[in-house]
Amino acid sequence: RIQRAFSVGAFGETKYRKFVPTRWSITAVDSIIGETLMENTKSFPLLNEFRVYFHNQYDNRWVILMMPTEWKYELIEAWYPKTTWNPYGRKIRMFNSYEFYKGRKTYAEIGGCYYAARLAVNEKLNMEKRQAGVVVMREAHPGYILPVGVWNVRESVREALRKDYTKFDTLDETLSYLSRMLDIPIERWIQNSAIIKDTIHQRRLEDFLKIC
């Protein structure tokens, strides 16, 4: 397997080779393959509808929003109190990392999960030969006390994208639906999302230009 080869230092000049943690090698492979697929995604025509996919597993609620825009992507995670990344907090903590069409130049703040989910998303878009803006939203509820690795993120997003989706014609309709699917108020998701806020701004600008 490619991941194992990365982990045992099978690539590069011999004097620079070294063992690395398995999670690093997994993220490296997710990132490399994901970037290749992402470049393909950017060449495809835009999706012609808003879509929402849903999956619930291990007390994690996954909601994937696809929008008819050029490629942009974001992962937002909400960790409830008494979960791994919020063990002593009294309030829900939210984290996000994102990229626009030109991609990122720095490592995602949210870590390897970002690249795992991005890979799964681009697999789906390549399969359909479509381009879209995508926001992956994750609610990690208190029952999720022991993370099982970034592979779980990749496989959860893949599983969500295998399921039937709900489609909408407008962003407002989509956000209204999301407000019923998520426990955390949609206003907080919007507040913590660079991609959704950007899309709202672009839609308002387009509507204004139509009036003019």
Q: How far is CA 15 from CA 2, 5, 10, 24, in A?
A: 20, 16, 11, 20
Can you give the pLDDT at residue 115?
96
Cα gap 80→182, rounded to integer Å: 13
Angle (deg, nearest 10), helices 112-128 and 22-41: 30
Cα gap 157→59, rounded to integer Å: 14
**Is the Cβ–Cβ distance between 94 and 109 less than 8 Å?**
no
Q: At 133, phi and psi to the nearest 5?
A: -90, 135
**What are 40-80's pLDDT values in tens digits?**
999 999 999 999 999 999 999 999 999 999 999 999 999 99
Residues of the chain with pLDDT under 50: 2-12, 14-21, 24
Can you give the pLDDT at residue 28?
79
